[in-house]
A and B are shown apart, each in its own frame.
Chain A
Amino acid sequence: MKIRFIPTAAVLAASCVLTACSSAPSGSGQAGGPDTLTVWIMKDSVSDAYLQRFEKDFEQQHKDTVLDIQIQEWDGIGEKITAALASKDAPDVIEVGNTQVAQYAQSGGVLDLSDKVTELQGADWLPGLAEPGKVDGKQYGIPWYAANRVVIYNKDLFARAGVTAPPKTRDEWLRITEKLNRGKTQGIYLPGQNWYTLAGFIWEEGGELAEKQGDEWKGALDSPEATRGMDFYQRLQALGKGPKDSDEAKPPQADVFAKGDVAQVIAVPGGAKIVEQANPALAGKLGFFPIPGRTAGTPGATFTGGSDLIIPAASAHPDAAYQVVKSLAGEKWQRDLAKTMSYVPNRTSLADALQDDAGTAAMAAAAAQGRATPNSPQWAAVEATNPIKEYMTAVLTGSNRQKAAKDASDAISKTLNS
């Protein structure tokens, strides 16, 4: 249905006059010349330096294209990407979180790249990235990178407390954290709503966030296993001053850790770089170990985060866009990414690209226990309202845990089945 606005002359004139000066400089190079490809990258996902290197290199290789890389904010990104996919002039390449990609793949607004899988050597893609990007046997999302969380610790504080080696088991972890949590030092800074970490603890106990029973999803936070996971989280959380009603972004945990009186924090290894940037005095004083598991020798289960790349069906330059995806997902830039950002490359055969530093070693050790969120296109909707965070805060602040767990599970079931 097409209906034109019928603005009055006054409306038209006024708004034209007022915006005339603005429309001149804002055009992003659509005039003749080379095609401009718009690429959306999420905030803080990769460093600016990496993107600049890539942009320069790509434009050299493809003289007829210009890249316009736009950094997207996390706030309201779901709506933004939906709006982009539905528009007539969409961005050409979009980075999408691996827990979110399924819903877009299913929507029909994303280009089917199944015939490119062989060329991209998709046979050994990380399943945690490839599977969510696949719907009904068709590949829409192309794996980009993965990362999982480890414990970053302050070596000085460990030494001062007489802790010589990182813990091997969860019990040992609790013991040493308690030992570290003295005086002005926080044993661990764990905000109450770090739900990725909770997910790991739940999986470690054998529980799930949600289970599929036949055609129906059922939230599983009220299972005995999940409850044990939450108990462990609560015991650990109490060994520091992390706010019970907030996540790792509010306040930014890197800033808190950078003050130097926090012994441990749970983050992706790349987080250490941000800490060192905020407080250069900590450079070289940060250590890493995988989140301990219940038994020595096996790290704890952990959430594998990461990103896929998609090409909107409404992209005006699908072929050129594919070239961008091919480069970013290809060996050269994957190795660079592993080196720059300490991310796990999208193919298992590239794992050797991870340099031998402590952070990536810890991450690689934990990656073996990597898990993904429930495989449903509706999972993104669960994250959007996030009953898990509310559940965590409710338990930590002493509400009725059975009821909180039941409420959260029901909310998850309802969303996944709608």
Chain B
Amino acid sequence: MRPVPASPSRVLRRLPLHMGALLTFAVCAFPVYWMVLTAFKPTADIQAETPLFLPTSLTLEHFSAAVNADGFWLFWRNSLIVTAGCVLLALAVALGSAFAVARLRWKGRRGFVLMVFIAQVAPWEALLIPMYVIARDTDMLDRLPTLTLVYFMITLPFTIVTLRSFLTGIPRELEEAAQVDGCTRAAAFRRVTLPLLAPGLLATSLFGFITAWNEFAFANMLIIKNQDDRTLPVWLSSFSNVFGTDWGATMAASTLFALPVLILFLVLQRRVASGLAGGAVKG
């Protein structure tokens, strides 16, 4: 941004804008702040009549309750495996389709695009029962790969649609120039387009990651007897039971649950941003 001398009138004029910005930040961040704060608060403070907005004393007891709960790391790892598998799979499959749609001419392309769009409307909650029956009849119950496949399908349509629009944003002339320079088409794609597409791939994978990381209904229905294959959301629900809706531990577990996504965001965000900026100097 261009440095502008800050005159008092200017500051005054921008006051509503900054108030709005602060309000937006506060509204967005408060629930997350409250979650993390509660996770660190002693139980007595959590149940205080007047909410304590700043910590008076902090405790790790809720975190140790959450982490020491039976199998926390196992479920955490299960979730990570399923989620990562679904994201990679969806990216690989979607990249091919997005390329075909954005770069090639072929008969049936419109129909294909329409199919992908309509696939986004799929009523997944309603497909629980048919999915269960199919998984049972194919001996796919109680297995993590089944979940990977289901999540892959849930995220695939959106991944294709977004990758396609990323691809159309990259001028095909770049590839063609590389081909003129003697590259094969595949090499041109790999060397020229793919690097430019990297931020798009990352941004898209974030969506897939969040979706799969959150999913509860299928994980609860398709993993039945093999309790060691449960995922984190299913486990997280275990904090609400007859004698123990323990807000402290629930918030600690929620914090740990949100952590990978938040980290991924912070790490990738910079690369996505720089990638976009890099794409801007495409020349």
Contacts and interface: CB of A to CB of B under 8 A. Distances in A.
A1 B133 CA distance: 10
A73 B237 contact: yes
A44 B245 contact: no
Interface stretch (A12-20, A324-332, A386-394): A12-20
Interface in A74-100: 74-76, 79-80, 83-84, 86-91
A250 B225 contact: no
A5 B220 contact: no
B224 A15 contact: no
Contacts of A76: 220, 237
A400 interface: no
Interface stretch (A21-29, A132-140, A217-225): A21-29
B226 A28 contact: yes
Given A23-B144, A88-B139, A249-B243, A83 B221 contact: yes
A73 B235 CA distance: 9
A3 B246 CA distance: 45
B228 A15 contact: no
Interface in B209-255: 220-221, 224-229, 237-238, 240-247
B136 A5 contact: no
Given A10-B93, A18-B81, A252-B245, A90 B229 contact: no
B145 A19 contact: yes
B138 A38 contact: no
A43 interface: yes
Given A5-B140, A26-B226, A44-B241, A16 B81 contact: no
A226 to B, nearest CB: 25
Interface stretch (B18-26, B29-37, B83-91, B160-168): B83-91
Given A5-B149, A22-B78, A84-B225, A252 B85 contact: no
- Interface size on A, as a range, is 35 or more
A218 B92 CA distance: 57
A142 to B, nearest CB: 21
A285 interface: no
Interface string B45-60: 0010000000000000
B89 A11 contact: yes
Nearest to B93: A10
Interface string B124-149: 00000000101011111111110011
A23 B143 CA distance: 8
B200 to A, nearest CB: 20
Interface string A296-336: 00000000000000000000000000000000000000000
Contacts of A25: 228
Interface residues of B, number: 45
Contact of A26 (B84, B145, B229, B244): B229
B189 interface: no
Contacts of B242: 43-44, 74, 248-249
Interface string A125-148: 000000000000000000000000
Interface string B88-121: 1100110000000000000000000000000000
Contacts of A117: none
A75 B149 contact: no
A284 interface: no
B136 A87 contact: yes
A63 interface: no
Central interface residue in B134, B145, B226, B247, by most chain A CB within 10 Å: B145
Nearest to B83: A18
Contacts of B88: 14, 18
A398 interface: no
B152 interface: yes
A73 B81 contact: no
Contacts of B134: 3
B213 to A, nearest CB: 15
A139 to B, nearest CB: 25
Contacts of A3: 134, 137-138
Interface string A252-288: 1011100100000000000100100000000000000
B271 interface: no
A2 interface: yes
Contacts of B142: 87, 89
Given A79-B220, A251-B245, A86 B136 contact: yes
B233 to A, nearest CB: 11
Central interface residue in A14, A15, A83, A91, by most chain B CB within 10 Å: A15
B60 to A, nearest CB: 19
Contacts of B152: 11
Contacts of A19: 81-82, 85, 143-145, 148
Interface in A185-230: none
A4 interface: yes
Contacts of B140: 5
B148 A22 contact: no
Closest 7 CB pairs between A and B? A18-B85, A26-B228, A15-B145, A73-B238, A250-B245, A15-B148, A19-B144
Given A74-B241, A76-B220, 10 more contacts: A1-B137, A10-B89, A15-B145, A18-B148, A19-B82, A19-B148, A22-B144, A22-B229, A73-B238, A249-B240
7 contacts: A10-B89, A11-B149, A15-B85, A21-B81, A23-B144, A38-B225, A73-B237
